[in-house]
Amino acid sequence: MAQYNYDLFVIGAGSGGIRTARTASDYGIKVAIAEQRYLGGTCVNVGCVPKKLFVYASQFKEHFQAAGGFGWTVGKSTFSWPSLIENKDQEIGRLQAIYGNQLQQSGAEIITGKAHLLDAHTVVVDNNEYSAERIVIATGGWPSVPDIPGKQHILTSNEMFFLKKLPKSIVITGGGYIAAEFASILHGLGVNITLCHRGHKLLRGFDEDIRDFVGNEMARRGINVLLNTDIEAIESKTDCFAVRLGDGSKIQTDMIMYATGRTPNSSGLGLESLGVELDDEEAIKVNADYQTHVPSIYALGDVTNRVNLTPVALAEGTVLVNKLYGDQSGSVDYDIIPTAVFCQPNIGTVGLTEAQAREKYPDIDVYKSRFTPMKNTLSGIDEKSLMKMIVVRSTDRVVGMHMVGTDAPEIIQGMAVAMRAGATKAVFDSTIGVHPTAAEEFVTMRNIVI
């Protein structure tokens, strides 16, 4: 039997890579993990975690405004962007240290530097060669920016987490969750927002009612949403940037951010020369067991461009290691994956959209509830919530649940458990609600709207 330096070598210490390395180490497997940037990957450093902290920061202005309706007198308040960045950086540093300690305690060896593959069993990091029986690639994704005149002036979500100064105005390009979230965050912090999207609606892939509702709410809040709009060029002026749109008009702004997608981080790894296949979007092709065309090389997480969510990468890493070293069967259920968009108002969703359900089943019942949250009856804030449930009539099984409103992500997590357990509409109807809450709407929906 061939002898290797390691049983398993993981490239990429993001969420999926760290979970893979730690789980394998728990089986007594000799593991190394290489990372060239920062422990925790996108989620911890330039994604989920700092984004959520920014979301919290952006909500306080509205909380202060709402306080008067409940008898509070709130004095003059000011916001310090540098303080937020400093506190955020401290928290991220704390999390990085935790990840490092957990990897070391598990027995995994951390190797710092950019890795590439020499052959099917050899990884090179900074001119040092390491052999391994198996190699897992978990290098994630990276923001992509189109090649337009003035491209050098464009920022991505990566840079937004380290701004020295908050701009007075910004043009954000994109219609996905990152664009919607940053538009909401910066708007809540007092920035003048123009959101440009080439499509006719925001949030492609989400339920149509959710897309319409959120688009209207964002516009109502004062975000300038320009749909069917492309940016052709960016020109640097003395004290601002001029953004030229497809119709020839121009917008002057302090900053331009693009959130037009992410590319699998597969370049520079030496994959093509080894026969590891990539698709048209540079994602690594894998089979149901996360194995590439080279039997000793595996890939998971965003670099495979399946479902690009941190919990999915975590689940994939766990399933892979349990199969390889724990002699366990199992798979990731990609059909019932709850997800959230932390725009304002929040989105929480799990299961099929109405359009997907109608394409899959011939007999669909749709339930909807649109209401004013109890808090807003006194807050003076004119914001509604929307809930939607999709049911297969013949089986009574709930196959989709969607919500826009305060705490939607927290509520949908529980709904996802029910759907995973196969809950029917009758089960929801017979469940006693927690009163008074928004969540109880999901167990009191009685009227079919479509």
Q: Which residues are catalytic?
A: 435
Eight-class DSSP state of 239: S
211 and 205 in contact (C-beta within 8 Å)? no
Q: What are phi and psi of 402, to 5 degrees?
A: -140, 140
CB atoms within 10 A of CB 18: 29
Is the bond preceding 143 in cis, omega lying within 30 degrees of 0? no
Q: Hey, what long-range contacts does 245-248 have (CB within 8 A, 24 or more apart)?
A: 245/196
Asked whether 39 and 100 are in contact (CB, 8 A), the reply is yes
The 8-class DSSP code of residue 108 comes to P
Q: Which residues contact 152 (CB under 8 A, 6 or more apart)?
A: none
User: Which distant-in-sequence residues (6+ apart) come within 8 Å of 23 by Cβ?
Assistant: 317, 318, 321, 322
Q: Are 364 and 449 in contact (CB under 8 A)?
A: no
116's tokens? 């590439």
Per the CB < 8 A criterion, the answer to whether 134 and 290 are in contact is: no
Q: Which amino acid is at 407?
A: D
Type of residue at 65: Q
Measure Cα distances from 48 to 53, 275, 335, 351 in Å. Answer: 9, 33, 22, 21
Q: Which of 13, 109, 17, 36 has the alpha carbon at shortest distance from 299?
A: 17
State the Cα angle at 401 between 398 and 402, rounded to 5°. Answer: 165
State both tokens at 157: 């979500």
Altogether, the residues listed in the chain come to a count of 450
Can you tell me whether residue 165 is helix, strand or coil? coil
Q: Which residue's structure tokens are 């997608």?
A: 261
Question: In angstroms, rounded to a whole number, what is the distance separating the alpha carbons of residues 192 and 167?
Answer: 9
Can you tell me the distance from the alpha carbon of 58 to that of 76, in angstroms, rounded to the nearest whole number?
A: 16
Kindly state the tokens that stand for 188.
């809540």
- β-bridge partners, 242: 235, 252
Residue 69 · residue 380 · CB < 8 Å = yes
